[in-house]
Structure 1
Amino acid sequence: MAKTTALVIIDMLNTYDHEDADALIPSVARALPAVVDLLGQARRQRLPVIYANDNFGKWRSHHGELLEAALAGPHAELVEPLRPDESAYFVVKARHSAFYETPLAYLLNSLDVTRLVLCGQVTEQCVLYSALDAHIRHLSVTVARDAVAHIHQDLAEAALRMMEINLSARIVPAADAFRRHADGG
C-alpha cells in the first residue's frame, strides 16, 4: 500500500451534555459544514476516515452506542451529517489526545498512513494534543482551520499558531486540506 493520508475526526460524535457545551455549540455549528466537506473529500478519494471520540465515561460502550447516544442528544443536527459509514474506522479515547492509550498509532501504521488531516473539537484541547502526539510520531499534520471548533477563541488561535510554528503543521482551509495528498507531496 502506498503512503497515504487519513482524515481524523475528533470528538464530533458528542452529546453536548457537559460543562462547556454552551460555549462550544456555536463554534461547532460554524465548523460543521467544513467538517462535512472534508468527510466528503476523503470518501471520494477513498482515504481512511478515522473517528477518534471520547467515550463519555462509559467504559462498556462501543462506537455504535456512542453514536446512538450522540444522535439521541439535544443537538443531533450537529452529529447526523457526520454519521460514520461502513468503511470508517473508530478509536475510542478517554483523554485529550487521540493517541493516548488508544490503538490509533497501530492503526495508522497498518494503513501505511504518514499524513493526517485533523478536524473536530476542541481546537485548544483535543485537536492540539492529538497534533502534538502525531508530530512526535513523525506524522505530517494538516489542520483544517475552518473545520475545528473551540470553547475559547483566543486559546484556539494560540493553539493553531503553536501547531503551525512548533509542530510544523499545515493550517489551511478545509478546501485545501488534501491538496498536498492530491499533488503527491
Structure 2
Amino acid sequence: MGKTAVIVIDMINTYDHADAELLLSSVHEVVPAVVRLVERAREQDVPVIYVNDNFGEWRSHHGEILDQALSGAHADLVEPLRPDERSLFVVKARHSIFYETPLAYLLTQLGVDRVVLCGQVTEQCVLYSALDAHIRHLGVVVPRDAVAHIHRDLADAALRMMERNMAARIGTADDVSLSG
C-alpha cells in the first residue's frame, strides 16, 4: 500500500493581489477545514507539504514568505495554518504545484502515491495541480470544504472535472482517509 501526503496550496498569502477581494470570503469559510485536515495529518504522521507561490520574489524562501504573510492585513487566515517544524515547503512560480518544482521528486522520495489537495484557488491552482498529479499516476483527493474559490460556479465545474476526468475523490476534509 502506498502513502498519502497532504498538500496545502498557496495558503501562506498576503491577499494583496488581483481577485483577492473575491477570494477572501471563501478563504474564511475553508480555513477551519484545512486546519482540521492538517492537524489530523500531523497526528497520523502523514507528510504535510506546503506548496506556495513566490509572488514573483525570486530571492524569497519559505521563511520570508511566511513572515510577509503574517505581517499582512490577513494574518488571521495564515496563523492557524503556520507550517510546523516537520512541514515541508516547496516554492512555486506558476499555477501547478508540479510545474518546474522539485515536488514530484520529493513525493517519490517519500513513497507518496496519493495526494490530498487543499488550499486555493479551486478553479485555478488546485485544478491544474490535480491534473498534473493525475498525469503522474498519483491518486488525487480534493475535500470540497478545504478549497477556496474566486468564482463558485467555476469551482463547482472544476471539482466535477477533477472527479470525472482525473478520477479524483471529492469529499469533505473530515471524511478524507489519510491511510491510503
TM-score by length of structure 1 reads 0.96
> CA–CA distance in 1 between the matches of 2:153 and 2:86?
36
- In structure 1, the partner of 2:156 is 157
Quote how far apart the aligned CAs of 1:51 are: 0.2
Percentage of matched positions with identical amino acids: 69
- In structure 1, the partner of 2:68 is 69
Quote how far apart the aligned CAs of 1:19 are: 1.1
- In structure 2, the partner of 1:129 is 128
> CA–CA distance in 2 between the matches of 1:85 and 1:9?
13
3-state SS, counterpart of residue 79 of structure 1: helix
Quote how far apart the aligned CAs of 1:3 are: 2.4
- Structure 2, unaligned runs of 5 or more: none
3-state SS, counterpart of residue 146 of structure 2: strand
1:114-160 Cα shifts (integer Å, max 9, x gaps): 01000000000000000000000000000011000000000000000
How do residues 72-83 of structure 1 correspond to structure 2 at under 5 angstroms?
72-83=71-82
> CA–CA distance in 2 between the matches of 1:108 and 1:168?
19
- In structure 1, the partner of 2:16 is 17
Q: CA RMSD in A?
A: 0.8
> CA–CA distance in 2 between the matches of 1:109 and 1:166?
24
Quote how far apart the aligned CAs of 1:62 are: 0.3
> CA–CA distance in 2 between the matches of 1:107 and 1:14?
23
- In structure 2, the partner of 1:169 is 168
> CA–CA distance in 2 between the matches of 1:117 and 1:19?
27
1:3-57 Cα shifts (integer Å, max 9, x gaps): 2100000000000000101000000000000000000110010010000000011
- In structure 1, the partner of 2:43 is 44
1:50-81 Cα shifts (integer Å, max 9, x gaps): 00000011000000000001101100000000
> CA–CA distance in 1 between the matches of 2:86 and 2:175?
23
> CA–CA distance in 2 between the matches of 1:19 and 1:139?
31
Structure 1 counterpart of 2:67, one-letter code: E
How do residues 103-142 of structure 1 correspond to structure 2 at under 5 angstroms?
103-142=102-141
TM-score by length of structure 2 reads 0.98
